[in-house]
Amino acid sequence: MTEIPSITVTPSTAARAYARTEAGDFGTTLQKAMETAVDAGHQADTQAAKALTGSGNLTDAITALSRAELTLQTATAIRDRMVQAYQDIVKMPI
């Protein structure tokens, strides 16, 4: 059985991870994160289909679905924060 690792991100960890990105710009980093989220969804679909046909392991399917759910929740939280930041910037006086 595979466990989902617990992830704690501190500002310093995030800064080091951002510094390791290949392109170094925010847009590329965000695009890669979204691609990873989509890949997690595809893996969950694949594992669920295998479990339904009897050729896969139910535990792997549940783990993949849990990871996809966590990834979607994270992506939604990031989107909400970005929208809020944009709205705050728009409200700033010039």
Q: What is the mean pLDDT of each run of 10 residues along the chain (94 residues)?
A: 59 69 68 86 91 88 90 87 89 86
Q: Show me where the domains of the chain are located.
A: 26-91
Q: Could you count the other beta carbons within 10 Å of the beta carbon of residue 34? A: 14
| Nearest alpha-carbon partner for 75 in 46, 35, 20 | 35
Query: 21's torsion region: left (phi>0), alpha (psi -120 to 50) or beta?
Result: beta
Tell me, what's the pLDDT at 46? 92
Question: Structure tokens of 32?
Answer: 């890669």
Q: Which residues touch 32 (CB under 8 Å, ≥6 apart)?
A: 21
